[in-house]
Amino acid sequence: MTQPTRLWGGRFRTGPSPALMRLSRADASYFRLVPYDIAASIAHARELVRASVLSEAEYEKIAAALVAIGRDFEAGEAVPTETDEDVHTFIERLLIERLGTLGGKLRAGRSRNDQAANDLKLYLRDKVRIIVLDVLALQQAVVSQAKAHVDTLAPGFTHLQPAQPVSFAHQLLAHAQTFARDVERLRDWDRRSALSPLGAAALTGSALALHPELSAQELGYDGPCENSIDAVGSRDHVAEFLFATAMLGVHLSRLAEEIFLWSSRQFRWIELDDAYATGSSIMPQKKNADIAELTRGRASRLIGGLTTMLTALKGLPFAYNRDLIEDKFTALETVDTLAAVLPAMAGLVGTMRVDAERLARQATDGFTLATEVADWLARRGVPFSEAHEITGALVRHCEDRDIGFEALDDEDLAAIDARLEPAIKACLTPEAAVAARTGYGGTAPARVGEQIERLAAMLDEQRRWAETYAGPRG
C-alpha cells in the first residue's frame, strides 16, 4: 500500500493519530488555493534553477507537471484524498507520483509557512478585484436609479422622523458614496498587500531561494516582504481585508434596512420586482424583501470573521503559529458571502420601481418645511434663536388646528409673529426647499447631477483598476 505523502515526520517513531489528522487536515474549501500554490511553485522552481538545485531540464519537467496538475484539478480529474493534509501535500503527492524523486526536489528552500501566507495573499489579491467589480455592478444599479430620480422629491429623515425634503436621488447616492469608499479601502489594502512572503521559508529566509524579488515580480507583487519573520507570522493584511469587507457588509446592511422601510405598506415608496422578492408559505398576499434580510444577516458573518481573526492574532508570538490557519476560514467565507450577496442586491436595486408621486406627497409630511421658515427669518436679520422659537410656535399652531403649512393664510402668519410676512409662502414648497440647497454636496438637483457625474468618473477609474490586474505569470 502506498504510504501517504507527508511534509514532516522524519523524526517521529509513529504516524499521526486519526484524531490529530482530523483536526489538522485543511478544510475542503481550502483546496481552492491550488492554482495559486501552483503558480508560486513554478516561481519557486525558477529560484531553484538560479540556486543550481534544479537544472533547466528538471525545471521544465516540474513546471509542465505543475501546469498539468492545475489543469487536472480544475477538470476534477485530480482530487485531494483524506491523506492529503493540505494543498501543499496534495500537490507534492501528485508531483512525486508523476515525476518520481524529481517531484520531491521542489520542496528545497521553502516552507509551508511562506507557502501558506503566499497562497492566501495571491488569492485575496485576485478575488478583491472580483469583489470590486461586484460592488461596481451594485453602484451602477444605484446610479441608474438616481439618474431617474434627480427631480423626485422625498422626505428626508433624521432619527427616522421626517426632517427636510430631499431629492430621492440624493438619498440613493448617499449609499453610493459609502460603497465608493469601500472600494477605495480595498484598493488601498491591495497596495499594502503587494509584498510577497515567498522566500521567507520557515522564518529566517531561505539559504537557497536568494532572489525573492524575482519570484515576487513573477507573481505580480511589487516586491518581497522586508522581514522574513513578519512575512510568515503576520496576518494584519488578512485582518485589514476583513475590516474593509466587514465595513462593506455594514453599508450593505444599511441599504437593506432602508429597502425594508421603502417597500413596507407603511411607506410604499418602492415596489420590488417579483424576481427579487419572495412570498409566504402560509400568507398568500405577502411579498418579502428576503434579499435585503439575508444581506443584513450575512453582514454579521463578515463582522464575525473580523472578530475571529483579530482574536486569533492577539497575543501570538512571532513567527508562524498554527493558529494562523484561521486566516483561511475567515477570508474564504467572506469572499463566498460577498459573491452571493452583491449580485443579488444589485439585481434588487436595479429592478425596483419607485412611486415618485407617493414620495412627493409625503415630502412635506411632518412639517419638513419648518427649517425653511426659520431660514427665511434669519435671512431677514432675525436671530436664529428667535427664528427657531417663532417657527416652533407656527408648527404648534398648525398641529392644534390639524392643518399643514399650505393651509395657512396671511392672518395666521401675522397672528404668530408680525415678521411672518406673506412673501414667506414662496419658500414653503418642497421644490423651493430642495432647490435652495445649492452648496457643494447639497440636495439641489443641479448639485445632485454634478455628484452623479463625479461619481460616474470615479466608478470608471475603479473599474479600470479592477480589470487591469494581471496576477501571477505562470
In this prediction the pTM is 0.93
Tell how strand 270-271 and strand 223-224 pair up: unpaired
Cell of 108: 528545497
E runs forming strands in 260-381:
270-271, 353-354
pLDDT, position 7? 61
Tell how strand 270-271 and strand 153-158 pair up: unpaired
- Angstrom distance (rounded) from CA 435 to CA 334: 42
Cell of 168: 430621492
pLDDT in tens, 341-392: 999 999 999 999 999 999 999 999 999 999 999 999 999 999 999 999 999 9
* Number of residues in the chain: 474
pLDDT, position 1? 37
Closest CA to 331 of 87, 127, 186: 127
CA distances from 77 to 31, 126, 153, 426 (A): 14, 24, 59, 75
The DSSP line for 86-146 is SHHHHHHHHHHHHHGGGGGGGGTT--HHHHHHHHHHHHHHHHHHHHHHHHHHHHHHHHHHH
pLDDT, position 456? 97
Highest CATH level, class, for 113-149+169-201+226-359+452-467: mainly alpha
Cell of 31: 483546496
Cα-Cα-Cα-Cα dihedral of 177, 290, 345, 125, to 10°?
Answer: 100
Domain 18-108 falls in which CATH fold? Fumarase C; Chain B, domain 1 (1.10.275)
Cα-Cα-Cα-Cα dihedral of 305, 311, 312, 315, to 10°?
Answer: 160
pLDDT in tens, 269-283: 999 999 999 988 899
**Most distant CA pair in the chain, distance:** 102
pLDDT, position 474? 39
Q: How does 320-331 read in b/e, with b if 16+ C-beta sit within 10 Å? A: beeebbbbbbbb
Is the domain spanning 370-428 CATH 1.10.40.30? The answer is yes
| Type of residue at 187 | R
pLDDT, position 284? 86
A 10 A CB-CB count for 437 gives 18
Residue 164 three-state SS: strand
Indicate if 300 belongs to the active site: no
Q: Phi first, then psi: give them for residue 288, nearest 5 degrees.
A: -105, 145
- 457 CB-side CA count, 13 A: 5
- Angstrom distance (rounded) from CA 380 to CA 260: 42
- Angstrom distance (rounded) from CA 333 to CA 77: 25
- Angstrom distance (rounded) from CA 96 to CA 341: 41
pLDDT, position 15? 77
Select which of 29, 55, 264, 280 is catalytic: 280
Quote the Cα angle for 208-213-214, to 5°: 80
Q: Phi first, then psi: give them for residue 52, nearest 5 degrees.
A: 65, 20
Q: What is the pLDDT along the chain (474 residues), one digit of tens a residue?
A: 355 666 656 677 777 788 877 877 888 999 999 999 999 999 999 999 999 999 999 999 999 999 999 999 999 999 999 889 999 999 999 999 999 999 999 999 999 999 999 999 999 999 999 999 999 999 999 999 999 999 999 999 999 999 999 999 999 999 999 999 999 999 999 999 999 999 999 999 999 999 999 999 999 999 999 999 999 999 999 999 999 999 999 999 999 999 999 999 999 999 999 999 998 889 988 889 999 999 999 999 999 999 999 999 999 999 999 999 999 999 999 999 999 999 999 999 999 999 999 999 999 999 999 999 999 999 999 999 999 999 999 999 999 999 999 999 999 999 999 999 999 999 999 999 999 999 999 999 999 999 999 999 999 999 999 999 988 853
Indicate if 159 belongs to the active site: yes
- Angstrom distance (rounded) from CA 178 to CA 230: 32
pLDDT, position 472? 83
Which residue shows C-alpha cell 522564518? 203
pLDDT, position 23? 78
Select which of 159, 196, 215, 397 is catalytic: 159
| Type of residue at 26 | A
Q: What is the domain partition of the chain in residue ranges?
A: 18-108, 113-149+169-201+226-359+452-467, 370-428
